[in-house]
Amino acid sequence: MMTSTSPSSSNSSSWALTRALVHQYQWFHVILGLIGNGTFVVGSVFFLWDSWQQAGTWLFIIGSVGMLIGSIGSAIVTYERSKGRQPGEVDNQQDDT
C-alpha cells in the first residue's frame, strides 16, 4: 500500500496539477504562439539590413522558444481531451499509456 508521501505518489500529484493548469489555461498557449509568430516576422524583416541582423537572430530564437512552449502546451491539452478529461480536473490516477 502506497502512502501519499511516497515519491511516485508525489510525482503523480504534481503531474496531475501541472496537467490541470496547462489544460485550464489553454488560451496562454495561443498567446505564446501569437507572440512567437510576431517575433518571427519582425526578426525576419530585421534580416534585410546588415545592422539589424543580430537583433533579428535573437528575435528569431525568442519566437522559436515561444512557439515551442505554446505547441507543447497545446499538445498536452489535446492529449488530456483525448483521455476524456475536462479543464481543471485533477486526479491522482496513473495514465493508461
Following DSSP, what letter does each residue of 38-58 receive, concatenated?
HHHHHHHHHTTSGGGHHHHHH
Cα–Cα dist 71/79, whole Å: 12
State how far Cα 32 lies from the chain centre.
9
pTM of the model: 0.62
Instruction: Give pLDDT, residue 81.
Output: 78
Cα–Cα dist 83/19, whole Å: 12
Residue among 66, 43, 70 nearest 55 (CA): 43
Instruction: Give pLDDT, residue 70.
Output: 83
Cα–Cα dist 21/59, whole Å: 28
* Segments in the chain below pLDDT 70: 1-24, 86-97
Instruction: Give pLDDT, residue 21.
Output: 67
Instruction: Give pLDDT, residue 61.
Output: 93
Residue among 69, 72, 96 nearest 84 (CA): 96
Instruction: Give pLDDT, residue 3.
Output: 44
Instruction: Give pLDDT, residue 5.
Output: 46
